[in-house]
Amino acid sequence: MARIPTTEANGYVLGRIDYQERDLILRAAVEDEGILSFHARGARGSSRRFAGGVDDFVPTRFEYVKKKKGLCRLAGAYRRTVAEPSAADLAAFAVRSYVAELLLVVVEEGHPTRFPFRIMEWVTEALAAAVPTEQRRARAGWVVDRVHVILLHREGRLPVLGSCSSCGVGLESVEDVFFTTEQGLRCGGCGPGRGAWPDCRIDDLAMLWGLYAGEPFSGVRASKPLQSWLLGLVDQVADKSLKSRASLHQFVG
Ligand SMILES: [Zn+2]
């Protein structure tokens, strides 16, 4: 019998469900393919079947048979040798499982995009960088904040950063900044909109710019008001409660 041609691509397992007696259905972020579902035959029955491992949230190389619709058949999976977060870093694990669940909720399966893969690559790289142990929680929180900012930008839910939506003055030069979803960001002179982000200050805005622009971790995460504003917007986008939120709250705060 002729060998069925397989495709190889880098990716991450984001979630799994048991299927039939010995199989798994894996949902994965696959480079250039968005999110795909793999049927991993015998993955629960034998450790030899996928000796390279099909662990969650780790850099993986998949070999699979592409299907136009429905499940792709997983032919092989191998762990890629790239830097990974320390296994002792519980905050890093909580972040990866949260981001994986978030991606599965907000990204529609089967639409080619690099977005989920790139997010997982960045999260892995950011959490693998060496920081003092006492900064791990803050760094994990910073990763979550940045994922929220990137996701909200993709969904068109972030205000235009940089200038007052009314008079156009550069916001880096003003003292007070206000934001509502109706009015966007405004300088203090154009009238405070009350509501969505009442405690916004210019250093919050600078933090938001930094998260958006990809500035490196400074040792602290965003202020509580900025965190909860981002979280509120993400909740609107996700439109369902995420199971991994509890452990995120426990290990990251
Ligand atoms: Zn203004």
- Taking the alpha carbons at both ends of the chain, their separation in whole angstroms is 55
The answer to whether 73 and 41 are in contact (CB under 8 A) is yes
List of the chain residues with pLDDT < 70: 1-2, 46-47, 52, 180-182, 192-202
The answer to whether 131 and 217 are in contact (CB under 8 A) is yes
How far apart are the CA of 181 and the centre of ligand 1, in A? 16
How far apart are the CA of 174 and the centre of ligand 1, in A? 9
**Rounded CA separation 83/130 (Å):** 10
Domain extents in the chain: 7-79, 90-241
How far apart are the CA of 205 and the centre of ligand 1, in A? 15
How far apart are the CA of 177 and the centre of ligand 1, in A? 9
How far apart are the CA of 151 and the centre of ligand 1, in A? 27
Q: What fold characterizes domain 7-79?
A: OB fold (Dihydrolipoamide Acetyltransferase, E2P) (2.40.50)
Judge whether 7-79 and 90-241 match in fold: no
How far apart are the CA of 185 and the centre of ligand 1, in A? 9
How far apart are the CA of 89 and the centre of ligand 1, in A? 44
The beta-strand segments (E) located in the chain are 7-19, 23-30, 34-40, 60-65, 72-79, 177-180, 184-187
Give me the interface pTM, i.e. the ipTM. Answer: 0.98
Specify the CATH architecture of the domain 90-241. Answer: Up-down Bundle (1.20)
Predicted pLDDT of residue 1:
54
Predicted pLDDT of residue 220:
86
CA distances from 176 to 51, 71, 186 (A): 57, 52, 8
